[in-house]
Amino acid sequence: MIARSRIRGKRSGAGILTLTSLVDILTILLIFLLKSFSPEGALLHAAQDLELPESSSPEGVREGDLVLAIAADGVTIGEDRVLGREEILAGSGLFVPGLGAALAEAAGGDPGSRRLLIEGDRRVPFAVLYRVLFTCHQSGYQDLALAAVEKEPAGEGRP
């Protein structure tokens, strides 16, 4: 009779679950998902020393855009510096060979399937912007977009 009560006691004790560790894991997953969720699509971080112009266009940044930044000192693709300003202006034609090679490498095969988002400092001369845009188009990028700071509509946000 004593042996049966010990067996029953062990069985009933094994049925109790502690949910503390499960709740901890679910909390961490929830925090991770909330931090990675973006209701407005992809976020764009302007490159260092870059002042974007203002725009009232409703189209925003999409996930998977390749970002090309044109600053006063040169061009970067993503986080990698590609060319200096002098290298862009060198040469007689509009096509910039160094930039074309970097764009082909960044495309990973099919540049026509990817949108190229161009961040251009408002102080960059038009000649530099024109050569970069021409090179991007000649490298196979058909979907080009210029990044800008969203202009606040008149009358909103003012007391």
Domain ranges of the chain: 2-36, 54-150
Indicate the pTM of the whole model.
Answer: 0.58
In degrees, rounded to 5, the angle at the alpha carbon of residue 152 between the alpha carbons of residues 148 and 154 is 135
* Ramachandran category for residue 64: left, alpha or beta (phi over 0 → left; psi -120 to 50 → alpha): left
pLDDT given at position 57: 55
pLDDT given at position 61: 58
Q: What is the dotted CATH code of the domain comprising 54-150?
A: 3.30.420.270
Q: Which two tokens stand for residue 74?
A: 């040169």
pLDDT given at position 158: 47
CB 48 within 8 A of CB 76: no
pLDDT given at position 159: 46
| Residues of the chain with confidence (pLDDT) below 50 | 158-159
In degrees, rounded to 5, the angle at the alpha carbon of residue 77 between the alpha carbons of residues 74 and 78 is 125
Helix (H) / strand (E) containing 29: helix 20-36
Render pLDDT for 49-72 as a digit per residue (tens, 0 to 9). 666 666 555 555 566 678 888 888
pLDDT given at position 42: 54
CA torsion sign for 145, 65, 93, 82 is positive
pLDDT given at position 127: 86
Q: In what order do the strands lie in the sheet with 74-77?
A: 80-84, 74-77, 66-71, 115-120, 143-146
